[in-house]
Amino acid sequence: VQLVESGGTSVQAGGSLRLSCAVSGYTVSNKCVGWFRQAPGTEREGVAAIYTGGTVTYYADSVRGRFTISRDNAKNTLYLQMTSLKPEDTAMYYCATGPGGSVSRPLIPGDYSDWGQGTQVTVS
């Protein structure tokens, strides 16, 4: 099982980025997936999550209305579209999959079982 994030880079405040997470080793179509982030000296926090059907989504208050999570089951890939980026969005971003189609706490890292290595987003 491998999750590989990409798309992180440095961007100016107000800009946009799209992060991708390519999954191999199993199909993500029947799994809940989420994006998390961690800034230096802070705990990993949930950013967004999406259940198997693609219609149920969850967002942290800090990103709601600016970030959009999506999935392409045919490509086994997850996405996080980020707009109106702020300096406080600077962090390492991780994708993760849950053990099933949904989790009890969609924005809590402990409910997810497989993780990528992360991609750095820096907003200045």
**pLDDT tens digits, one per residue of 76-119:** 999 999 999 999 999 999 999 998 888 889 999 999 999 999 99
Angstrom CA distances, 55 to 5, 19, 33, 58, 69, stand at: 22, 20, 12, 10, 10
Mean pLDDT score across all residues of the chain: 95
Question: How many Å apart are CA 53 and CA 86, to the nearest integer?
Answer: 30
Cβ neighbours for 120, distance < 8 A, ≥ 6 positions apart: 8, 9, 91, 92, 93
CA-based nearest residue to 113, from 53, 42, 39, 101 = 101
State the average pLDDT over residues 35-46: 97
State the average pLDDT over residues 25-53: 93
Percent of the chain scoring above 90 in pLDDT: 85
Per-residue pLDDT at 61 exceeds 80: yes
Residue 33's beta-bridge partner residues? 50, 97
